[in-house]
Amino acid sequence: MRLDQVADVQRRRLGDRDRYPLAGAQPQPHRARRPRGSGVSAPLAGDRVVEQPGPPGRVDLAVASVAGISRAHAQRLVGDGRVLVEGRRVRSSDRLRGGELIRVELSAPPDPTLQPESIPLRLAYEDEAMLILDKPAGLVVHPSAGHSSGTLVNALLGRARQSGERLGSIAGVERAGIVHRLDRDTSGLMVVAKTDAAQASLMRQFALRTVEKEYLALVRGAAPATQGRIEAPVGRDPRDRQRMAVVAGGREAVTEYDVLDAGNGHSLLALHPLTGRTHQIRAHLTYLGLPIVGDSRYGGGIGPGGLTRQFLHAARLRLARPVDGSPLEAWSALPADLAGSLAAVGLGSERLPQGVGARAGESG
């Protein structure tokens, strides 16, 4: 099958409808693209360990069913040895007859190698079950080779120690309540769970694609339409293993976009990823011939005003609060470096959020 058959950009004009109002202070509710099922509740209800007879079929699907988690999450637990079937470790691909006792350990044991650190964090929202933080560019999310300290995980552990609160651990202590991630040089909103029940709820919402996300990007070039939808599979770039690209056989990836302003060889875009592939927005925009300014890895070069990091900012989130299922919207204004780059090219929009904050609605 040719790539142009599996990677299609669908363009459409949708009139003057805005997804969000002018500033961040009082955003209007945005209709969620909800698939079947709820993104709020899960059978585990905060239990540390789930033990139930499993249905017939693959182990990973059975674990997802009894624990109320996504298949990908179930596969991680199986790989970590936190799933036992009739007292024995199993593989995700093993098959069950049905009725076997499945034991799922949802909370991970402490990891003494992860050290709490006092790193200031700016919050957009916080309640007893979760928080939404405004991540600065340059902050690595998870410890890794070359980044054993100074990460967001270290900062969250330090904050939890100081406040006496815990963090969700069902995805592993090294994730410290984190349910999604941003690249090191992407700024903006991230969700963190304080409890296992909240983490399960939030992970389920992300898995069901009911969390609405809006990113802002400044790109080189003109978009093919004022609004559009990019449907193109994303996988590892065969020419550069450090990059992702649109490739035949890649994973399904869908991104919608709106042009907020354009001129002087640049376009300011609002992007709404409907899937969560690694580097999805960067790969999709490169595929369209619209590299993000400042993104040297994907051909964006130095941006206006001398910007040397990618102009990509997670500006808005809408999800259901785990505590009561009510809608929650959060927003984050462009940081100073991105605002300066935008001003240098002479673009702007009344739809850009102002300040950092959130608003919770009433449960329906």
206 membership: H or E segment, kind and range:
helix 196-207
Place of tokens 């999450």: 73
> Rounded distance, CA 273 to CA 277, Å?
9
Residue 285 forms beta bridges with which residues?
none
> Rounded distance, CA 250 to CA 237, Å?
10
337 is catalytic: no
- The number of beta carbons lying within 10 Å of the beta carbon of residue 80 is 12
At residue 331, what are phi and psi to the nearest 5 degrees? -145, 155
Which residue blocks in 37-179 are alpha helix, DSSP H?
Answer: 59-67, 71-79, 152-163
> Rounded distance, CA 12 to CA 224, Å?
10
Query: Per-residue DSSP letters for 177-201?
Result: TB-S---TT-EEEEEEESSHHHHHH
* Given 60, 134, 183, 295, the catalytic residue: 183
Structure tokens at 73: 């999450």
Residue 312 forms beta bridges with which residues?
217
**Angle of CA points 236, 282, 173, to nearest 5°:** 70
Q: Contact 130/202 with Cβ under 8 angstroms?
A: yes
Residue 234 forms beta bridges with which residues?
246, 251
Known catalytic residues? 183
